[in-house]
Amino acid sequence: MEKIKIAFYDSKDYDKESFINSNVNDEFEITYLETRLSVDTYKLAEGCDVVCVFVNDDVNSEVIDKLHKMGVKLIALRCAGYNNVDIEYAFGKIHVVRVPAYSPYAVAEHAMALLLTSIRRIHKAYIRTRDFNFSLNGMTGFDLHGKTVGVIGTGKIGRIFIDICRGFGMNIIAYDKFPAKDSGIEYVELDELFERSDIISLHCPLTDESLHMINADSIEKMKKGVAIINTSRGALIDSEALLEGIKARHIGAACLDVYEEESNVFFHDYSNHIVNDDTLARLISMPNVIVTSHQAFLTKEALSNIADTTLNNVREFFEKDTCTNEVCYKCSNLANCNQAHDKKCF
């Protein structure tokens, strides 16, 4: 039987290793491409059945048209979020699958790692002690015990983050568009969450509705000294407003694993370049801002789950009528989507 051909965009050494080591790898012929998928690079998928993409590949309507004409049948996201794919435009042309959960623990634990690093000044201490500077001036932090954390989005990652915070003896309040019933979580309106939280952590998807949910107005409502953690998607925060809030000493700490313009810089080494993004440069220059480059997912367990689920998604798509991890723009209301009847979305 002929192998299913996959064009694997934006591949890194760690991706390649986990896909090669996956025990479902035998049925596929994978071309690993370092470049991202865009209108300039779609042709590299010529002759392939599947394109496999990650968070910063730009799968817009033009790219979808080109891939469709070339005979590509499936867009296999190796991540959970799908805001970078025009799923409404893809409907009826190319199916889209994703990895809904690979390790929610990886992301939730990274969110807490960023928070602890920031408020206990670990990033400063690491550099100081390497230079034999053992002074404690400027290193005063605060206890998490007894503080109120506002969690926005109580899905898989948000719920694990809540459990971690409970372990620290924190008070939890949350906002979710679809609150989880019988969860024992205290849900409040967004404004109340902004007003009461000492720490705010974002765990909801990026949609038209959630775009810039942290903006100048919402920052104004927050407590002075609030710490904001974003391990979800960059554009949930208006970065200019965040910067102004930090400059005004209103925001006490920002822990960012994602950034709204990250696709221009993240996952690349620009240490020998002049970075053109003034907002990012100014944010990074702040002593109370920590930036990691979308690395919250990056654990051995998550990489292995991503590889296995992605390849199983592809296999299921070509071998069966079902497509368990398919997403389409109708899926948010399953009654309107074929998925509810155990079929492909279209």
Neighbours of 121 (CB within 10 A): 17
Active site residue ranges = 233, 262, 294
Indicate whether 81 belongs to the interface with ligand NAD (CB under 6 A): yes
Asked if 103 and 297 touch (Cβ cutoff 8 Å), the reply is: yes
Which stretch in 112-120, 154-162, 266-274, 310-318 sits in contact with ligand NAD by CB under 6 A? Answer: 154-162
Asked if 85 and 77 touch (Cβ cutoff 8 Å), the reply is: yes
| Footprint (CB under 6 A) of ligand NAD, residues 31-70 | none
Indicate whether 98 belongs to the interface with ligand NAD (CB under 6 A): no
Nearer to ligand NAD, 22 or 230 (CB): 230
Which stretch in 8-16, 130-138, 169-177, 248-256 sits in contact with ligand NAD by CB under 6 A? Answer: 169-177
Indicate whether 305 belongs to the interface with ligand NAD (CB under 6 A): no
Indicate whether 297 belongs to the interface with ligand NAD (CB under 6 A): yes
**For ligand NAD, which residue has the nearest CB?**
155
Which stretch in 6-14, 121-129, 225-233, 312-320 sits in contact with ligand NAD by CB under 6 A? Answer: 225-233
22, 118, 154, 305: residue in contact with ligand NAD (rule CB under 6 A): 154
Of residues 201, 82, 212, 209, the one with CA closest to residue 153: 201
Please give the size of the binding site for ligand NAD, defined by CB under 6 A. 30
50, 74, 115, 204: residue in contact with ligand NAD (rule CB under 6 A): 204
Asked if 73 and 50 touch (Cβ cutoff 8 Å), the reply is: yes
Question: What is the nearest approach in angstroms of ligand NAD to the Cβ of residue 59?
Answer: 15
Question: What is the nearest approach in angstroms of ligand NAD to the Cβ of residue 299?
Answer: 10
Question: What is the nearest approach in angstroms of ligand NAD to the Cβ of residue 189?
Answer: 11
Indicate whether 262 belongs to the interface with ligand NAD (CB under 6 A): no
Nearer to ligand NAD, 43 or 177 (CB): 177
Indicate whether 205 belongs to the interface with ligand NAD (CB under 6 A): yes
Indicate whether 158 belongs to the interface with ligand NAD (CB under 6 A): yes
Site string for ligand NAD, 265-294 (x = CB under 6 A): -----------------------------x
The token duo for 70 is 């070339």
The token duo for 219 is 């920052």
User: Using H for helix, E for strand and C for coil, what is the string for the chain?
Assistant: CCCEEEEECCCCHHHHHHHHCCCCHHHEEEEECCCCCCCCCHHHHCCCCEEEECCCCCECHHHHHHHHHHCCCEEEECCCCCCCECHHHHCCCCEEECCCCCCHHHHHHHHHHHHHHHHCCHHHHHHHHHCCCCCCCCCCCCCCCCCEEEEECCCHHHHHHHHHHHHCCCEEEEECCCCCCCCCCCECCHHHHHHHCCEEEECCCCCCCCCCCECHHHHHHCCCCEEEEECCCHHHECHHHHHHHHHCCCEEEEEECCCCCHHHCCCCCCCCCCCCCHHHHHHHHCCCEEECCCCCCCCHHHHHHHHHHHHHHHHHHHHCCCCCCECCCCCCCHHHCHHHHCCCCC
Indicate whether 103 belongs to the interface with ligand NAD (CB under 6 A): no
Indicate whether 78 belongs to the interface with ligand NAD (CB under 6 A): no
Which stretch in 148-156, 267-275, 282-290, 335-343 sits in contact with ligand NAD by CB under 6 A? Answer: 148-156
Indicate whether 210 belongs to the interface with ligand NAD (CB under 6 A): yes
C-alpha to C-alpha distance for 2 and 198, rounded to whole angstroms: 57
3, 12, 177, 247: residue in contact with ligand NAD (rule CB under 6 A): 177
Question: Site residues (CB under 6 A) for ligand NAD?
Answer: 80-81, 101, 104, 107, 152-158, 175-178, 203-205, 207, 209-210, 231-233, 257-258, 294, 296-297
